[in-house]
Structure 1
Amino acid sequence: MQGFYDERQTAHDPKFYLRAGRQIPSPEQPARAAALKAGAEAAGVRFASPPDAGIGPIAAVHTSEYLHFLQTIHARWTAMPNASAEVIPNIHPARRTDSYPSAPVGLAGYHQADTSCVITAQTWSSAYWSAQTAIAAADAVSAEGPVYALCRPPGHHCFTDLAGGFCYLNNAAIAAERLRAKGKRVAILDIDVHHGNGTQGIFYARGDVLTVSIHADPEGFYPFFWGHAQERGEGAGLGANLNLPLVMGSDTAAFLGALDHALKRIAAFGPDVLVIAAGLDAHEEDPFQGLKVTTEGFTEIGARIAQAGYPTLLVQEGGYLSDALSRNLTALLGGFGT
């Protein structure tokens, strides 16, 4: 299996993370990349470095205003008297149609949804090369076999102009838009334990990309405000979004049942290419403890997706440090039989 990865993705190393009011170490650590790379290589992935396709494919999804923010906010933030070393929002607009601020504190609140997407001096570079990894993988997709993009930081919680949930650039959406520009019909299937709210938001009013997400019920789980079954899209996108929330703690059998439903909807859409937002945090040992999928379950997930027969791009999303992380990726990719 062909894979893409760039070591510059590991420079982003945030220290701050606020969960349930407590400051704890961020679970989105550079060590994730090493664990995932080892798991992919154990499945036979052959990695190449992505070329630099420039900012154009990223700007096809994200606003120039937001990209300028990501590139400049850390320097502006740390120039303030007594500022923290990392950009952490502490105020948010009541509505995102309110005034657009000019001060760094206001800009952070406008463009960062929560305290899990803190920005360091290296965030832009790492996010940029994570996106370039997805772009290179999209360019390599063919009917000959799946392609894997080891993207870190992940991307699926990022909207067109809003970071969130460890995500700064929406790699899966960027890859999908790259494929659309080549005339491909694209479906995105998100198997991360958390709903892919940013991906949904980017395509919610569009009918040319199908978005499907299997995840833990957001009624009591991040991202809380998105991912409910009644969200079907709007305008031209009505009927082109499918959410399949599962009861917290659901096991492999429940996940596979939702996957079968998802694949039927994807078949009805008739895509040329399938983009998988490949989170591994639905595993029973993942620190977030949302679902209880086994390692063997990931093999079956990969096998069922492979049996659908689409040219497939797997874009890495979540999956956090545990003894099982590497072998879960080996299992998922091994399910494709390549």
Structure 2
Amino acid sequence: MLTFYSDETLRRRARTELDGGRLVVPYESPERVELVLKRVREVGLGEVRAPETFGLAPVLAVHDRGYVDFIAGCWDEWQAAGRTGEAIAWIWPTRTLRDDVIPEHIDGRLGHYAQSADTSICAGTFEAAMASKDIALSAMAHTLATGEPSFGLCRPPGHHAASDQFGGYCFFNNAAIAAQHALDEGVARVAVLDVDFHHGNGTQEIFYARDDVLFASLHGDPRSCFPYFLGHADETGRGRGEGYNLNYPLPAGTAFVAWSRALDDALRRIRDAGCEVLVVSLGVDAFEHDPISAFRLTSDDFTELGRRLATLGLPTTFLLEGGYAVEEIGINAVNVLSGFEAAAREA
């Protein structure tokens, strides 16, 4: 399996995350991709290739222009305001405030475009996000051209990024950008399957009223898990998108037996919908030892996940999302890819 990777993804080295009332070093770190890349090479998964560059047009196909301009210029604007720390939102247009007038001040604009205070913007954020989406697009382009699976070693991750908001360490929605690219290249319907512990709220928001992308997410119940305000089972799409949004919220402590029942139902729905290409938002924070998650999947379970994904028989692009047990992230991510390849060879 071909892996796409760029050192540009390491340019974002944030120092600040608000966690439990403390400012800590973020769980999402450059070391995550370095460990996955090391494992890819250790097992001989296949060639590692640098991505092509695609510019801003694919980003603007799923994201708001004002939002993209904000991400591009936020760090410079923050510094110009005389700030010495990293840019973190501290005021939001909540239920009793207006959200239709975008403030001019950097603090207000941060609040307008931020979902949460967990994600700071620092030097290199825009450049890393651009490289990450290029990785996703290159992986998808390879799959479309060859029919072969591909792996995009994306960082920052993307599935929390909505059309005009960042959060959960995500700035540009790599999976949505890749899915839209496949549609633009003539694919009739794409499936995006999100197996990250945290709900892919951004991907859901982008495609919620559309029937050309089926979105399915297995995740911690939002009544007790981030992002809290999206991901319930009754969110099934709107208008033409009705029935094309599938949420499988699961309780803390869920192990593979129960988790895989939800997976099997999602795979059945993807088959029934006639999807032609599969994008996997490959978060591996469902792992039993992940520090900010609450499922109980083992490393061997990720191999079985890959095997089950292969049963769809679809051209498949895997894009890295979460996974914060850094010692095991490489093992778990590559287990999915190896399991997929082994099952595909046996088919």
| Normalised-by-shorter TM-score class | over 0.9
Is the 8 Å Cα contact of residues 43 and 333 (structure 1) preserved in structure 2?
A: no
Deviates more, 1:291-300 or 1:34-43: 34-43
CA distance in 2, matches of 1:77, 1:206: 36
Give the alignment of 1:75-224 within 5 angstroms: 75-81=76-82, 83-94=83-94, 97-142=99-144, 144-184=147-187, 185-224=189-228
Q: CA deviation at 1:320?
A: 1.2
In structure 1, the residue matched to 2:328 is 324
1:43–1:255 CA distance, 2 compared to 1 (3 A): farther
Structure 2 unaligned blocks of 5 or more: 343-347
| Structure 1 residue 256, shift from structure 2 partner | 1.0
Displacement after TM superposition at 1:144 (Å): 4.1
Deviations for 1:76-95, whole angstroms, at most 9, x for unmatched residues? Answer: 111113x2331100111125
The residue aligned with 1:73 is 74
Residue 246 (structure 1) aligns with: 250
State which drifts further: 239-248 or 43-52. Answer: 43-52
Matched residues in 2 for 1:145 and 1:290: separation?
33
Counterparts of residues 306-317 of structure 1 (less than 5 Å):
306-317=310-321
* Partner-residue secondary structure (3-state), 1:323: helix
Residue 52 of structure 2 is matched in structure 1 by 51
State the alpha-carbon separation in 2 of the partners of residues 43 and 252 from structure 1. Answer: 27
Q: 1:264 aligns with which of 263, 268, 274?
A: 268
Once the 2 structures are TM-superposed, how far is the Cα of residue 183 of structure 1 from its aligned partner? Answer: 1.5
- Matched residues, number: 337
1:336 paired to 2:337: no
Asked if the contact 2:142/2:148 (under 8 Å) is kept, the reply is: no
1:46-91 per-position Cα deviation (integer Å, ceiling 9, x unaligned):
211011111111111111111110111111111113x233110011
Structure 2 contact 89–116 (Cα < 8 Å) conserved: yes
Secondary structure of 2:327's aligned partner = coil
Distance 1:190 1:181 in 2: 21
Deviation at 1:287, TM superposition (A): 1.1
SS at match of 1:266: helix
Given that 1:40 and 1:333 are in contact with CA atoms closer than 8 Å, whether structure 2 keeps it comes out as no
Task: Indicate the residue corresponding to 1:16 in structure 2.
Answer: 16
Report the CA distance shift for 1:110/1:100 in structure 2 as closer, same or farther (over 3 A): same
State TM-score, norm by structure 1: 0.97
Indicate the residue corresponding to 1:280 in structure 2: 284
Q: Given that residues 249 and 289 in structure 1 are in contact (C-alpha distance below 8 angstroms), is that contact kept between their aligned partners in structure 2?
A: no
Distance 1:260 1:40 in 2: 27
Residue 28 of structure 2 corresponds to residue 5 of structure 1 = no
Q: State the SS of the aligned residue for 1:299.
A: helix
Kept after mapping to 1: 8 A contact 2:285/2:325 = no
Contact 1:39 1:328 in 2 (8 A): no
Unaligned runs of 5+ in 1: none
Q: Is the 8 A contact 1:28 1:166 kept in 2?
A: yes
Asked if the contact 1:285/1:322 (under 8 Å) is kept, the reply is no
SS in 2 for 1:227: coil
TM-score, normalisation: structure 2:
0.94
Question: Structure 1 residue 325: deviation in Å?
Answer: 1.4
Structure 2 contact 282–333 (Cα < 8 Å) conserved: no
The amino acid across from 2:250 in the alignment is L
Q: CA deviation at 1:43?
A: 5.3
- Residue aligned with 1:218, SS: coil
Cα contact 2:11–2:123 (8 A) shared by 1: no
The alignment's C-alpha RMSD in Å is 1.3
